[in-house]
């Protein structure tokens, strides 16, 4: 299947290339690779992938638009931060959080993005977010509406779908009634077993990814169905797809069943987070896209859930 045949959009996050950018590839070469593997959506991290962030030059912005248009890529999600520990000795205020979010919303709009993920500072091991988030986001809902951007905080391991974090987001959405706020689901929450990640070429990397809370509940994919009406974006997190196009860590057939059955037509944006080694991301991304396309094609032919015959 080509991406156009899929019932949802298939994209890639440039975060996948973390160990290649500046080592084996430039940002521009990574963007070209996203198009080459057949994806049509492009996700970035504002601070990490925009030259001279937060004030890129007019020349850089023009080149960005020319490149994405030439390659047939749609800017999907802009990753931003509300770093509540940014200032030594004190927390970020709601005013500062709102100002930071507004800055990134405007830059995301300039670059043509439709979704913005604010990575908000947390206050607990299960990723409860800093209390300033509600005021900072609410004060920007009108701006988001004016720019036609959906603000979508990320549900990321070890947060589970049935958790106080998600409840707080859903209560906020219900209270504000905003169509410009929704959930971003990181498929790593459905991880079947811990991935033994190795390596790390980046000198700034802290730790090896092995630090985990003592116990994290298994999250059944069936929980996803409960929040699909509020889900606006997927980061299709994965770690390893083998030579036989088998992913032993993320249950893609079950995930795609829920996604398709819900009528979701948004983006699945691949986020490779396996071994920290150069050259692996381009190959692994191609494998994952082949796996997703294969599952979707099988389902389209049989008309049955993708996991009915095998996992």
Cα-based angle 78, 136, 231 (whole degrees, multiple of 5): 50
CA distances (Å), origin 165, targets 122, 130, 131, 215, 241:
10, 11, 11, 17, 30
Which of these is catalytic: 49, 156, 180, 275? Answer: 156
Instruction: Note if 156 is an active site residue.
Output: yes
Spatial distance between the Cα atoms of 62 and 57, rounded to a whole number of angstroms: 9
Q: Strands of 231-238's sheet, edge to edge?
A: 150-151, 115-120, 74-82, 41-45, 9-13, 267-272, 231-238, 183-186, 154-155
Cα 189 vs. chain centroid, distance in angstroms? Answer: 12
DSSP string, 197-233: --B---TT--S-S----S------THHHHHHGGGEEE
Catalytic residues: 156
């Amino acid at each position: 299947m080509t991406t156009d045949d899929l019932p949802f959009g298939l994209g890639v996050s440039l975060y996948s290339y973390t160990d290649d950018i500046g080592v084996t590839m430039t940002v521009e070469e990574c963007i070209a690779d996203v198009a080459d593997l057949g994806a049509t959506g492009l996700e970035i991290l504002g601070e990490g992938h925009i030259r001279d962030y937060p004030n890129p030059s007019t020349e850089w912005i023009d080149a960005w638009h020319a490149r994405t248009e030439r390659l047939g890529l749609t800017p999907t999600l802009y990753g931003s931060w509300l770093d509540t520990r940014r200032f030594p000795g004190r927390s970020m205020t709601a005013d500062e959080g709102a100002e930071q979010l507004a800055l990134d919303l405007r830059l995301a709009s300039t670059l043509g993005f439709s979704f913005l993920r604010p990575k908000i500072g947390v206050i607990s091991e299960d990723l409860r977010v800093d209390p300033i988030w509600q005021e900072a986001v609410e004060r920007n809902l009108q701006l988001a509406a004016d720019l036609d951007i959906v603000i979508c905080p990320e549900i990321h391991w070890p947060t589970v779908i049935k958790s106080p974090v998600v409840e707080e987001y859903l209560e906020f959405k219900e209270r504000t009634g905003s169509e410009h706020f929704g959930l971003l689901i990181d498929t790593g929450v459905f991880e079947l077993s811990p991935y033994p990640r190795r390596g790390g070429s980046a000198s700034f990397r802290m730790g090896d990814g092995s630090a985990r809370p003592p116990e994290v509940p298994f999250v059944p994919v069936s929980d996803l169905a409960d929040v699909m009406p509020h889900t606006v974006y997927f980061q299709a997190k994965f770690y390893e797809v083998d030579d036989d196009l088998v992913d032993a860590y993320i249950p893609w057939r079950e995930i795609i069943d829920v996604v398709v059955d819900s009528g979701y037509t948004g983006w699945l944006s691949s986020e490779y987070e396996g071994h920290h080694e150069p050259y692996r991301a381009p190959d692994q991304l191609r494998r994952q896209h082949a796996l997703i396309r294969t599952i979707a094609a099988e389902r389209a032919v049989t008309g049955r859930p993708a996991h009915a015959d095998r996992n």
